[in-house]
Amino acid sequence: MNLETPKKFRGLVTQAHQVAAHYFRPISRKYDKAEHAYPQELDLLAALLDGMNAGSPDAIGATSASKRGAALELAPGNKNGGNLSALLGVMELCWGDVGLLLAMPRQGLGNAAIAAVANDEQLQRFAGTWSAMAITEPGCGSDSAAIRTTATKDGEHYVLNGEKIFVTSGARADSVVVWATLDKALGRAAIKSFVVEQGTPGMSVARLEKKLGIKASDTAAISFVDCRVPAANLLGNPEIDVQKGFAGVMETFDNTRPLVAGMAIGVAKAALDRTRELLKKHCKLDYSKPLFSVTHAEATLYRLEAEWEAARLLTMKAAWMADNKLPNSKEASIAKAKAGRMANEMTLKCVELAGALGYGEDELLEKWARDSKILDIFEGTQQIQLLIVARRLLGKSSSELK
């Protein structure tokens, strides 16, 4: 077992860290205070990343997070591919700023959904698009199977009706991947995802949310009223397979949950690094001493470092399993649950350890504490992740264990 960053990804990690340090950090506070203002600086950065990623399945962004890939079929053995490279890039970029990463053109969670379930023709057609993902509805949060937005077949189109909330980049993205049901009576099996392009008649942004954190990222509520979407925009297989059920669409989460865990790891590392710098001015960090003989601040820092490392390794395992086409639903939820909880605790504890410095806007510690909370909520709350893990461990279905 090799727990080091694969050699072929080290250049990518270095580049992503430089972007975080020299591009994201300097404008981080600016866009935290200017909620809903689009960070124009990201356009140039997105163009640069497009050039870096061109023709490579091992790219920085969400587009490379998929279990597909011809390279995986060539030879047996360990594979380090698009999921791990995307994760490593996300971890470094979120060391800079989570909200700015979420605002990056062509790196939306909808891109990961397209990468996960689109067919070859759709992959080519939607290449280069910036796609948000619309799952949550009023009264339907973590239980994705309870989706009420409908998609009714009408010739060569589907007609969408419903409302989606908390859509990250919903107003800015080129398109939105919308989860809707073809037949409510068939439950989970009838839920499919559709790519709906901005400007499609019947689709409208109702409002932008004001939030605790990630303020550089717009979060929209979107309504669909008799919105006609080409049938060719239904991602993957249009047939309803009751035996397979929800699995095709849910594969998206197997790829995106490790990425969200990576966001949590990145912002937690930022807080940990800065707090360590601040503490060095007041106490010597000596890892050779037993915990009972050091100050409370030192002991707390050591414990946080251990929690961070555990979350990092669990998340890398989930991404590695996806690269090797191994079932990773349980591991993706374990990583998301661990990293989300760890980031919440760590960023708040770092504010506490830094005292007055941690609470003021002279430092980014208070911002990181606010940004971290969403990472324990979206892509499935902490409670839902633990429920999924329990189902996998006990071999229970969603109807058997609620």
**pTM for the whole structure:** 0.93
- In this predicted model, which residue has the larger pLDDT, 285 or 247? 285
pLDDT at 42 over 50: yes
| Same domain assignment for residues 314 and 175 | no
Task: Say whether both 46 and 69 belong to one domain.
Answer: yes
Mean pLDDT of 210-219: 96
Residue 56 has what pLDDT? 54
Residue 379 falls in the annotated catalytic set: yes
Check pLDDT > 70 for residue 74: no
Give the range of the structural domain holding residue 289, as residue numbers without chain letter: 247-394
What's the structural domain count of the chain? 3
Per-residue pLDDT reduced to its tens digit, 178-194: 999 999 888 888 999 99
| Statement to judge: residues 113 and 77 lie in one domain | yes
For residues 114 and 140, membership in a common domain is answered with no
Domain harbouring 170, CATH code:
2.40.110.10
Pair (215, 115) in one structural domain: no
Query: Cβ(256)–Cβ(107) under 8 Å?
Result: no
The whole-chain average pLDDT of the chain stands at 90
**Whether the predicted pLDDT of 307 surpasses 80:** yes
Say if 269 falls within a structural domain. yes
Are residues 350 and 255 both part of a single domain?
yes
Q: Please tell me the predicted confidence (pLDDT) of residue 357.
A: 94
Are residues 108 and 168 in contact, defined by beta-carbon separation less than 8 angstroms?
Answer: yes
Any domain includes 399 = no
C-alpha torsion sign, points 79, 82, 83, 84? positive
**349-353, 357-361, 364-368, 396-400: lowest mean pLDDT where?**
396-400
Q: What is the pLDDT of residue 248?
A: 58
The tens digit of pLDDT for each residue in 104-144 reads 998 888 998 898 889 999 999 998 899 999 999 998 877 77
Co-location of 202 and 135 in the same domain: yes
Shared domain for 79 and 191, answered yes or no, is no
How far is Cα of residue 29 from the mean position of the Cα atoms in its chain? Answer: 22
205: confidence class by pLDDT, cuts 50, 70, 90: very high
Q: Which two tokens stand for residue 144?
A: 């994705």
Question: Looking at residue 90, which CATH number applies to its domain?
Answer: 1.10.540
**Considering the domain boundaries, does residue 39 fall inside one?**
yes
Q: Which of 103, 125, 147 is the last residue of a domain?
A: 125
Judge if 149 and 49 occupy the same domain: no
Q: Identify the band that residue 65 occupies on the pLDDT scale cut at 50, 70 and 90.
A: low
Question: Among 32-36, 142-146, 232-236, 246-250, where is mean pLDDT lowest?
Answer: 246-250
Query: Which of 210, 233, 256 delimits the end of a domain?
Result: 233
pLDDT of 72 higher than 50: no
Q: Which residue has the higher pLDDT, 231 or 239?
A: 231
Check 92, 298, 363, 379 and give the catalytic one. 379
| DSSP 8-state class, residue 158 | E
CB contact at 8 A, 236 and 118: yes
Asked if residue 181 is part of any domain, the answer here is: yes
The pLDDT score that the predictor gives to residue 200 is 98
Rounded mean pLDDT of 83-94? 94
Q: Is residue 402 part of a domain?
A: no
Residue 273 inside a domain? The answer is yes
| Beta-bridge partners for 181 | 150, 191
Question: Do 195 and 254 belong together in one domain?
Answer: no
The domain boundary, picked from 198, 233, 268, lies at 233
Q: For position 47, what pLDDT does the model report?
A: 83
Query: What is the identity of the amino acid at 276?
Result: R
Q: Is 239 inside any structural domain? A: no
pLDDT of residue 23: 95
Q: Please name the residue that has the structure tokens 């902490």.
A: 382
pLDDT at 43 over 50: yes
- Any idea what the CATH number is for the domain that residue 296 is in? 1.20.140.10
Whether residue 1 lies inside any domain: the answer is: no
- Per-residue pLDDT, 63: 60
Q: How far apart are CA 261 and CA 80, in angstroms?
A: 18
Q: To which residue do tokens 């998206």 refer?
A: 252
Same domain, 146 and 99: no
**One domain for residues 112 and 55:** yes
